[in-house]
Amino acid sequence: MRCMACGAEMILMNVVPDDTMTVPGFEYHTFRCSDCNDVERRLVFTRRGRETDAEQVPVHPAPSIAPPSPVQDEHIAAPGLFRRVVAKLRGR
């Protein structure tokens, strides 16, 4: 983000959640200019919220939905295909 006064880069100095809104996710961000030290405070909506705001959800691996396939057959078929392509390119 750029400073509105001088155009230099702004540095995020502080984040404070705003609990006055009926919708969660609003925060006040305080920025300080890296050049002229101008301070700006902006109300920002964070769509996903903060990690500390959410409850911990247990993670379980999803079951596989693909039918089992023989992986060995795929590795054997590939060299034969490669040989055929090379033979075609050589004109055999």
Q: pLDDT of 46-68, one tens digit each? A: 876 565 555 666 677 777 777 76
* Helix boundaries (H) for 1-92: 71-90
User: Is residue 28 a contact partner of residue 16, using CB atoms and an 8 Å limit?
Assistant: yes
Q: How confident is the model at residue 42 (pLDDT cuts 50, 70, 90)?
A: very high
Q: In the 8-state DSSP scheme, what is residue 9?
A: B
Q: What are phi and psi for residue 49, nearest 5 degrees?
A: 80, 180
pLDDT band of residue 90 (cuts 50, 70, 90) is: confident
Give 71's pLDDT tier (boundaries 50, 70, 90).
low
Instruction: Supply the pLDDT for residue 63.
Output: 72
